[in-house]
Amino acid sequence: MSVELKVPSVGESVTEVQVGGWLVQPGQRVERDQVVVVIETDKATVEIPAPVAGVVASIAKTSGMKVRVGEVLGLMEEAGVPATKAAAPAGRSGVGMPTPSDAAGVGTTKVMPAAARVLADGGVAANSVAPSGPGGRVTKEDALRAVAGRAAPAAPAERAGVGSSAAGADGRPTETVPMSPLRRTVARRLVEAQATAALLTTFNEIDMGAVMELRRQHGDGFKEKHGVKLGFTSFFAKAIVEAIAAVPALNAQVAAGGESILYHHYCDLGIAVGGGKGLVVPVIRNVERLSFAEIERVVADFGARAQSGKLALDELQGGTFTLSNGGVYGSLLSTPIVNPPQSGVLGLHAIQERPVARDGLVVIRPMMYAALTYDHRIVDGREAVTFLKRIKECVESPARVLLDA
């Protein structure tokens, strides 16, 4: 009995997705609820499990193809004899599908979605990779190592399911690869922000010594008690809440019609994190109500699930203010762009020991540049500077947050 693998509904406003990669090949037997294919929306990666135990009969939509909700991705034969391997759709090579010899045991190998895409692009079979992730899963790092260790990586022309190769004007090879849904959405929203908002950035520098000393003194006890590390994010989240109380316009937005301002009497803080498919911004709801430990738990959970594409769509929507930390990648200074319709984003950067003046003396202190980009339509310069100065005060003297001083 043939069973169709269809694109499920992944959100009210989502009508089209992109096939991220197949974890199986035609003729392979799979168990019920085993993940067989991964699809990508503009915000998240979604795993599609086998609806029945049986054999993958054919694959209709290969990696990189755009499909609509309800379309058939492939066919399965329920608990049947392996079907004859179907040819890939015309003009597509079925990229990322291992050969029959490579596929042995693939059905029992657990592969994270981000790793699946790397293996598919590199033409490496999942069962040939030593897993290091929880539950014996192959992680993206495992996949990258495996692909890097290949003696002869696939040429662009061999990867027709991902992009198309051609010769440039000077005859040298080039390759065109379609943007992922996430990247297309990021591009659209960044252009929208630049075109519709009056963006301006103000800068300051923060002495991180007090926070670093607190982490040194209480970090071990904090982790032992709460089961999570005491990071910098919770300090800045608390400082943002304090600064918003002083300057509410940074937690507001231009209302529909453009002639009024909508103020939020709560703070849903977006935290920019690097995911398996790129930057995503999950939202901490009502961050003003959370303790340091609760904030750190949420951030750690977001980071882990972003890497494996497990964030839910509703976790990536909304937000009244955004925190972005380019310092984790080594950025010294940058100008972040607001996430519409928000009016502000705080960008953090790398901590460096620099000479600064203290009480008439030159001393070495761990300093960080902070950047606040704001929508000048509803936030004036005085308010922006006041907001960032309040952030600086709270971080340089954390007791202010605890004492409400």
Domain with CATH 3.30.559.10 in the chain: 182-403
The reported pLDDT for the residue numbered 306 is: 87
The reported pLDDT for the residue numbered 335 is: 95
**Which one has a higher pLDDT value, 26 or 135?**
26
| Average of per-residue pLDDT across 262-291 | 91
The reported pLDDT for the residue numbered 113 is: 67
| Average of per-residue pLDDT across 91-116 | 49
Architecture of domain 182-403: 2-Layer Sandwich (3.30)
The reported pLDDT for the residue numbered 12 is: 64
Residue 58 has pLDDT above 60, yes or no: yes
| Average of per-residue pLDDT across 155-178 | 64
| Average of per-residue pLDDT across 250-278 | 90
Active site residue 376: yes
Domain with CATH 2.40.50.100 in the chain: 2-160
Share of the chain above pLDDT 90, in %: 46
Residue 99 has pLDDT above 70, yes or no: no
Among the options 226, 264, 301, 380, which is catalytic? 380
Secondary structure (H, E, C), the chain: CEEEEECCCCCCCCCEEEEEEECCCCCCEECCCCEEEEEECCCCEEEEECCCCEEEEEECCCCCCEEECCCEEEEEEECCCCCCCCCCCCCCCCCCCCCCCCCCCHHHCEECHHHHHHHHHHCCCHHHCCCCCHHHEECHHHHHHHHHCCCCCCCHHHCCCCCEEEECCCCCEEEECCCCHHHHHHHHHHHHHHHHCCEEEEEEEEECHHHHHHHHHHHHHHHHHHCCCCCCHHHHHHHHHHHHHHCHHHHEEECCCCCCEEECCCCCEEECEEECCEEECCEECCHHHCCHHHHHHHHHHHHHHHHCCCCCHHHHCCCCEEEEEHHHHCCCCCCCCCCCCCCEEEEEEEEEEEEEEECCEEEEEEEEEEEEEEECCCCCHHHHHHHHHHHHHHHHCCHHHHHCC
- Band the pLDDT of 96: cuts 50, 70, 90: very low
**Which one has a higher pLDDT value, 36 or 107?**
36
Residue 348 has pLDDT above 90, yes or no: yes
Residue 210 has pLDDT above 70, yes or no: yes
Query: What are the two backbone dihedrals, phi and then psi, of residue 300, each rounded to the nearest 5 degrees?
Result: -65, -40
- Band the pLDDT of 163: cuts 50, 70, 90: low
Mean per-residue pLDDT of the chain: 83
The reported pLDDT for the residue numbered 374 is: 98
| Average of per-residue pLDDT across 287-300 | 96
The reported pLDDT for the residue numbered 120 is: 64
Among the options 265, 314, 376, 404, which is catalytic? 376
The reported pLDDT for the residue numbered 292 is: 95
Architecture of domain 2-160: Beta Barrel (2.40)
pLDDT per position as a tens digit, 12-55: 667 888 888 888 888 888 898 898 998 887 767 788 899 999 99
- Band the pLDDT of 367: cuts 50, 70, 90: very high
Active site residue 220: no
13-27, 94-108, 192-206, 383-397: range with lowest mean pLDDT: 94-108
The reported pLDDT for the residue numbered 201 is: 97
